[in-house]
Structure 1
Amino acid sequence: MKELRTEIEIAASANRVCATLTDFSSFPVWNPFIRRVDGELRVGARLVIRLQLPNARSMTFRPRVLRVERGRQLRWRGHLLVPGLFDGEHIFAIEPLGAGRARFIQREIFTGLLVPLFARRLDTLKARAEGV
């Protein structure tokens, strides 16, 4: 398992952050890599997400919604080709901080057979860069 995590404090209420996050039509405004999100925001539903990375072809993936807690958390999981090969669970968490402020946390947890291969590549890069 490998995990990526970022967080930021936002001068807006948790409900406002949640409303912005779940307004799928505005995703491209604040997230330039996600060009489009379609689907119903309910547990078990499939979303259709179109990604466009810089200097790369666009790709579409269809994650399943795992959790929807209004004002608190949105979670989905997608797969590369088949489940268990390279899976990514994306978590958007919102923590109210009081006085119209919230902490937004974004995590991606990678699991599957290919994860160790990617991890070894990072170890190899580290060793090469450090001159070991």
Structure 2
Amino acid sequence: MIRKEIKSEVIIHATPKIVWEHLINFEKYKEWNPFILSISGSLAKSAKMEVEIKPPNAKPMKFRPTIITVDEGKEIRWIGRLFIKGLFDGEHYFKLVKEGDTTRFIQGEIFSGILVPFMKTMIERNTLAGFQEMNLELKKRVELSVCE
């Protein structure tokens, strides 16, 4: 199977608990998140979410992934598919790793399926840039809240 993984990391000067609170506050995404415009649904294993993303230099896209992991304060993982399994699947993840008084926030996605080679530019340029933008905005938002 054809696979491609991308990820972006940022160090946030706050505890994983504080970062987690901001990460799962989906109602506030429209205030700060340039990449994930909205998320709705229950944050529970096997739940269907509704997600709208807007990668840089691309049109907004909506999809309905299924949550496969929720490890409070540590990880959220979901899988989304384009039409049928094996065509173009994406396993998206957010990981929070405690490092002393800071948190390493990792956002990534493992793409698989027969369309992956044809989506290389979208994956490596647009989607990765969206991860980087979101991570920096999350860092700013969390660190500002800690200073207040």
Letter in 2 for 1:91: Y
Match for residue 66 of structure 2 among 53, 64, 67: 64
1:11-63 CA distance string (max 9 Å, x none): 11001111111111122333212221110000000000122345654321000
Matches of 2:62 and 2:30 in 1, distance apart?
Answer: 15
Which has more helix, going by share of residues?
2
In structure 2, what is the equivalent of residue 106 of structure 1? 107
Equivalence map 1:31-70=2 (5 Å): 31-53=33-55, 56-70=58-72
In structure 2, what is the equivalent of residue 29 of structure 1? 31
Matches of 2:70 and 2:8 in 1, distance apart?
Answer: 20
1:75-113 CA distance string (max 9 Å, x none): 0010112221000010100001122x1100011100111
Give 1:114 shift: 1.3
Match for residue 97 of structure 2 among 95, 101, 110: 95
Matches of 2:54 and 2:120 in 1, distance apart?
Answer: 24
Equivalence map 1:70-85=2 (5 Å): 70-85=72-87
The percentage of counterpart residues that share the same residue type is: 41
Q: Which runs of 5+ in 2 are unaligned?
A: 124-148
Matches of 1:107 and 1:58 in 2, distance apart?
Answer: 19
Letter in 1 for 2:85: P
User: How many pairs align?
Assistant: 121
Matches of 1:57 and 1:114 in 2, distance apart?
Answer: 19
Give 1:66 shift: 0.5
Q: Which runs of 5+ in 1 are unaligned?
A: 123-132
Letter in 2 for 1:36: S
Root mean square deviation, CA, Å: 2.2
TM-score between the two structures when normalised by the length of structure 2: 0.73
SS of the residue corresponding to residue 6 of structure 2 reads strand
In structure 2, what is the equivalent of residue 18 of structure 1? 20
Based on CA coordinates, which of the two structures has the bigger radius of gyration? 1
